[in-house]
């Protein structure tokens, strides 16, 4: 069994001169080889030990993605200490304070951009010893250290004892806790997921069940590096084959960093990109915008090309089969005239995306597959390190979450924990070396989630005869009718947003009620445009008419059972966002908090007044939304 540290040192020995990291901190990206990265890890690890870090101490890591992020984690793990990766989206409020207090982090390693947050809350952190800063450009306080100072101390130690790091890292064991990663807080309090070093290396092995990443491949990691998906699938998995990882150039703000991405992608020319649904939708939107700017003729050709490609590709695994072969010359023509030009915008080398983080709807999968940049959907859970299944270039079915990885047991269970047969939907339950050690200081939640070594994911899905997994939504977010029947809302919500131009966000609600209702966030830009011709009440009626396509007589009426469609809805007075805590850091809706914030609106929906969508409360909320 491998620890992360033994895995890393072996990969350095195997690929010493390969580039591991690319970072832009000036006019160009500069490479760092595997052996150069190891040297810095050694210096920092020994320096941290000299400054008092001890095994099992928690070290919070709050920074944008960069070389020192990964180097710091490896240095901490070399000391048998534990990293607590934190999202840079966390504000200097209770969410950040809770994670630091609950983990009892003794050290915080942070970037210059994030330092003001730490300074603002550090008086609330009685257990905090030192704050270590990446490349500070300000005068440091007494309890703050420049990371370079620690690295220099390590250099002095290794100059006196060349074997000092080998002695230190030789004590690391595969079963050591590596990280405490906090859930995104879709429940009342986030839980700290304890992953061991072996959890990670086991999942790295599983990640390569059906995919190859050649040593010359590069990826540009735009996802937050604390994100479980990016952490394993990019940072550590790419090491396995000697491939390289680039970070997005850090800007003064998160927005500036994101803007750098479009330039960086042309500079790095990645072969693979990790994506989540929110990113995929933005990519698609930008592609369609670019096509529209070329005129109506190009737009018509693009739509025709997509329609033919969707038919030709099928579900991917049956691409071009049967009579579909007749379209092959057309597909080649579309590639030459349209699709090849789109690829240039992604650097020119991109082979495929790996999609994770949340469910990617079929329309997006078909779109990217059609343009020749497949977005291979996977499924995982932070508690599983996180990869459970994945579509790959060799094995894929659009609409699925891919084949279950090797060396992982899986079963689909009913409400009583009884295993179901192929094709039947139930809770996804898995068992393997990638399953977490447990929740930090929360034995009750651990017992509820892990039973006899089996991880109960809380997600609904089914397996087909070829061992492809289809994920249908969260078990915990089920709608419950008045008769006790349960239904997953995510698929309905995604379809409504995709097919209703006036709806930007929606959350369905039914907690043993007579009918289903919804909280709707209208598309602000389009509503403002309509206000030139229509009243607020008329626009709300138009939203209701859009929803009618899913109801009896509508063109999409066969997609979902009618009882799970909203009989009425409430207009939200503000969008669901990270700022108001209605969207978490992985861009998932926090259903309990949405229901809590709009409690009065939901209550009104179950009255005669609320059954009329153009009621005064909806008009009032629409006006507030548009302010």
| Rg, the chain, Cα only | 25
Instruction: Give the bridge partners for 229, in sequence order.
Output: none
Look at residue 304 in the predicted model and tell me its pLDDT.
97
- The domains found in the chain, sorted by start residue, are 4-172+208-260 (3.40.50.980), 272-348+351-476 (3.40.50.12780), 478-626 (3.30.300.30)
Backbone angles phi and psi of 378, in degrees to 5: -125, 175
Look at residue 472 in the predicted model and tell me its pLDDT.
84
Nearest-5° Cα angle at 615, 609 to 617: 100
389, 405 contact by CB (below 8 A): yes
- DSSP H or E run through 481: strand 479-481
Quote the crossing angle between the two packed helices 67-78 and 34-50, to the nearest 10°: 50
Instruction: Give the bridge partners for 130, in sequence order.
Output: 107
Look at residue 36 in the predicted model and tell me its pLDDT.
98
Residues 102, 113: Cα–Cα separation, whole Å: 23
**Which SS3 state, helix, strand or coil, does residue 495 take?**
helix
| Nearby residues of 217 by Cβ (< 8 Å), 6 or more positions away | 238, 241, 243, 244, 271, 272
**How do beta strands 438-439 and 192-196 pair?**
antiparallel
What is the greatest pairwise CA distance in the chain?
81
Structure tokens at 139: 């005068």
Q: Which residues of the chain have pLDDT under 50?
A: 185-187
Structure tokens at 506: 């929606």
Nearest-5° Cα angle at 364, 322 to 408: 80
Look at residue 187 in the predicted model and tell me its pLDDT.
42
Look at residue 184 in the predicted model and tell me its pLDDT.
63
Strand stretches in 54-119, DSSP E: 58-62, 82-86, 107-111
Q: Which of 76, 474, 21 is nearest to 235 (CA)?
A: 21
Residues 31, 236: Cα–Cα separation, whole Å: 17
Please give the distance of CA 45 from its chain centroid, rounded to a whole number: 29
Look at residue 186 in the predicted model and tell me its pLDDT.
41
DSSP letter at 210? S
Backbone angles phi and psi of 32, in degrees to 5: -125, 125
**How do beta strands 387-390 and 403-404 pair?**
antiparallel
| Nearby residues of 32 by Cβ (< 8 Å), 6 or more positions away | 19, 20, 21, 22, 23, 67
Q: Which of 158, 199, 192 is nearest to 178 (CA)?
A: 199
Residues 7, 204: Cα–Cα separation, whole Å: 10
* Helices and strands of the chain, counted as H and E runs: 23, 28
Backbone angles phi and psi of 437, in degrees to 5: -70, -30
| Nearby residues of 368 by Cβ (< 8 Å), 6 or more positions away | 280, 283, 284, 353, 374, 375
Tens-place pLDDT, residues 400-439: 999 999 999 999 998 888 999 999 999 999 999 999 999 9
Residues 213, 267: Cα–Cα separation, whole Å: 20
509, 479 contact by CB (below 8 A): yes
Residues 287, 285: Cα–Cα separation, whole Å: 5
Q: What length is written for the chain?
A: 627
Instruction: Give the bridge partners for 196, in sequence order.
Output: 177
């Amino acid at each position: 069994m491998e620890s992360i540290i033994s895995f890393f040192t072996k990969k350095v020995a195997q690929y010493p001169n390969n580039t591991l990291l690319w970072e832009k901190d000036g006019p160009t990206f500069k490479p760092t080889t595997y052996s150069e990265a190891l040297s810095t890890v050694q210096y920092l690890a020994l320096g941290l030990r000299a400054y008092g870090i001890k095994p099992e101490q928690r070290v919070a890591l709050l920074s944008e993605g960069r070389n020192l992020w990964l180097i710091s984690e490896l240095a901490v793990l070399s000391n048998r200490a534990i990293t607590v990766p934190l999202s840079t989206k966390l504000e200097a409020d209770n969410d950040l304070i809770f994670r630091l207090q609950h983990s009892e982090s003794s050290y915080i390693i942070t970037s210059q951009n994030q330092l003001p947050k730490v300074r603002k809350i550090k008086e609330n952190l009685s257990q905090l010893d030192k704050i270590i800063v990446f490349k500070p450009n300000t005068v440091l306080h007494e309890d703050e250290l420049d990371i370079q100072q620690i690295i220099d101390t390590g250099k002095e130690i290794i100059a006196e004892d060349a074997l000092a790091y080998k002695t230190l890292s030789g004590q690391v064991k595969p079963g050591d806790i590596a990280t405490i990663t906090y859930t995104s807080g879709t429940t009342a309090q986030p839980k700290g997921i304890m992953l061991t070093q072996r959890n990670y290396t086991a999942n790295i092995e599983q990640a390569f069940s059906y995919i190859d990443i050649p040593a010359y491949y590069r990826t540009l990691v735009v996802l937050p590096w604390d994100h479980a998906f990016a952490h394993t699938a990019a940072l550590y998995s790419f090491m396995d084959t000697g491939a390289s990882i680039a970070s997005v150039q850090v800007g003064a703000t998160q927005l500036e960093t994101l803007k750098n991405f479009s330039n960086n992608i042309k500079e790095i020319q990645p072969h693979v990109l990790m994506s989540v649904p929110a990113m995929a939708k933005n990519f698609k939107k930008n592609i369609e915008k670019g096509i529209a700017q070329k005129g109506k003729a190009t737009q018509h050709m693009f739509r025709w090309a997509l329609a033919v490609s969707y038919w030709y590709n099928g579900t991917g695994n049956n691409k071009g089969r049967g009579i579909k072969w007749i379209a092959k010359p057309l597909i080649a023509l579309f590639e030459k005239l349209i699709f090849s030009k789109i690829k240039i915008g992604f650097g020119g080398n991109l082979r495929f995306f790996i999609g994770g983080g949340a469910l990617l709807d079929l329309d997006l999968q078909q779109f990217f597959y059609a343009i020749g940049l497949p977005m291979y959907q996977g499924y995982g859970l932070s508690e599983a390190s996180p990869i459970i299944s994945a579509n790959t270039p060799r094995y894929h079915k659009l609409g699925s979450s891919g084949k279950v990885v090797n060396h992982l047991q899986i079963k689909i269970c009913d409400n009583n924990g009884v295993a179901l047969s192929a094709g039947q939907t139930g809770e996804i339950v898995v068992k393997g070396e990638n399953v977490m050690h447990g929740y930090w200081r929360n034995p009750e939640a651990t017992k509820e989630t892990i039973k006899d070594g089996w991880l109960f994911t809380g997600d609904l899905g089914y397996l087909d005869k070829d061992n492809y997994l289809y994920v249908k939504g969260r078990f915990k977010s089920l709608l419950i009718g008045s008769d006790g029947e349960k239904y997953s809302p995510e698929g309905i919500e995604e379809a409504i947003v995709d097919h209703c131009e006036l709806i930007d966000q929606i959350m369905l609600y039914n907690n043993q009620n007579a009918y289903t209702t919804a909280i709707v966030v209208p598309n602000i830009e389009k509503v403002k445009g309509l206000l030139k011709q229509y009243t607020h009440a008329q626009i709300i009626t138009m939203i209701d008419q859009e929803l009618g396509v899913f109801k009896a007589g509508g063109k999409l009426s066969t997609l979902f059972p009618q009882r799970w469609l909203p009989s009425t809805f409430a207009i939200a007075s503000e969008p669901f966002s990270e700022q108001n805590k209605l969207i978490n850091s992985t861009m998932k809706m926090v259903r309990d908090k949405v229901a809590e914030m709009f409690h009065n609106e939901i209550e009104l929906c179950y009255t005669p007044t609320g059954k009329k969508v153009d009621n005064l409360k909806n008009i009032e909320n629409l006006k507030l939304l548009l302010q």
